Chain A
Amino acid sequence: MSEVPVTKDATPVADALVALSGVNKHFGALHVLQDINLNIARGEVVVVIGPSGSGKSTLCRTINRLETIDSGTITIDGKPLPQEGKELARLRADVGMVFQSFNLFAHKTVLENVMLGQLKVRKIDKKTAEEKARTLLDRVGVGKQADKYPAQMSGGQQQRVAIARALAMDPKAILFDEPTSALDPEMINEVLDVMQQLARDGMTMVVVTHEMGFARSAANRVVFMADGRIVEEAEPEEFFNNPRSDRAKDFLSKILHH
């Protein structure tokens, strides 16, 4: 396996919004993240791909500290991730997260889901919060379903609500942890369309996905991970047409031709 040198430069780039340097994490004996260095610039869309178990979801979850790390540093907007507590809560409010299994609050309506963070974390008044929630729900195309409960909606609709819920916090960046992996095929596009639009609007996004089409069309950069390491980083065209590492060639040959 040919290793392609990736940037080992650990100093955060001046305009890096998210900067990981020398990040290591173990799950028991499994070294799931190995010396990860990654800088994500403001407005950049980074797509993380790789085989299952390569650590890409874990990487995504470390950025808002849903997973702790064993060593290394993660900074967001120049500030290192704080310990669990009020300060971390404040920081998480600025970094949206969209999950594979949507995780909408099951006991609250769609509208309440999108309002809750605004009311309880941002302390915005109810009227403003509701207006904003309705605008966002319209934007992701589920404005008419505002009074439904999550269980009454399709997966694609739920995921779009989840995106609206993240957007309601006015985040600096949004992390997408396999946002379409739990969806029926015909619902994937409606979610990807919303994400495409966000990318065009200049949102900083980290997207863990298996959707190569999205990676090609929306990403500024593709990060390929395998066995806990970043094996290759490149612009999408270059990565898909001309992968440098054997591991990436192997991966792409498996998913693109069958």
Chain B
Amino acid sequence: MLNRNVISFFKKLILFAVIIFAVDWVLGLALEKLYFSLKKGQFAQNTYALDEASPDILVFGSSRAQHHYSSKILSENLGYSIYNAGRDGQFLPYYCAVQAVILERKTPKIIILDVNIWELGPNEQKYMKLAQLLPYVAEHPVLRNYTAKISKFENLKLISKTYPYNSTLLISVYDHLLTNTEPEDDRGYFPLVGEVSEKMFNKYQTEKKTYDEKRATQDIEIDQQAVAYYHQFLKKTKDLNIKTYVVISPTVLKEPNTEEKSLLESIAKKYSNVKFLDFATDSTYNNHYQLFADEFHLNDKGAEKFSKELAELIK
């Protein structure tokens, strides 16, 4: 016979579970409401990209896409509607997930995929960052295929209504409180202001030299899963016959021809609808630090120049 101690424990455990379930439900609803009421900032941009965007031209990529492709210039020069779905710190799995959702809604005429030279290198973060998609899984079940890559039991964790909003509270509150001071994005494009000084440029050069020397001694592996995602992204564009540009956008310092970079190019060339454009060795940008806001990103002037040049190439 179970003793009273055990019965008392399990009674309280059940009560505790009920409380946890109720609080989770209420808190999850509150966080959901807070999250989806955002009008500006990265979460609002994610919501627009996944729930509404259906333009003629779609830009995918990381922060370099978000800050390099001026929606206004590309739209005016090409005569098409555009949305820049580039997001800070994201990688190929994220681009594929967003592509899957948007292409269910509309087939664009042109896709621009901005890739970093280290896109196919190993980086565990590229899968962890798919957590940004968790608030959208309920609405877009196709995303489960991607969020499952975050961890083995990721979809089980979605039983919780609060969990999808993990780590979103701070930025949601911040965006709400400072909504009037936050700069507006232009159809996903977010220009960066300011320019790199000569002193900073010299510092970048020294640091880059040390970094490249260190990298040269390391045995960098190719992330085969990232390669598979890259193929998946391009294959989908081919299946839907979408004109696609894979672009390595300008860098302030000339990037060496690494194994990852060569692989990006050789894979792109296997698809007849894809054109590969490499600006990382373009002398009109390399060393022209006045066109850059920091080591990795063009500023508004640089983005304007680059977007015009790209529009001419696409025309």
**Chain A partners chain B:** no
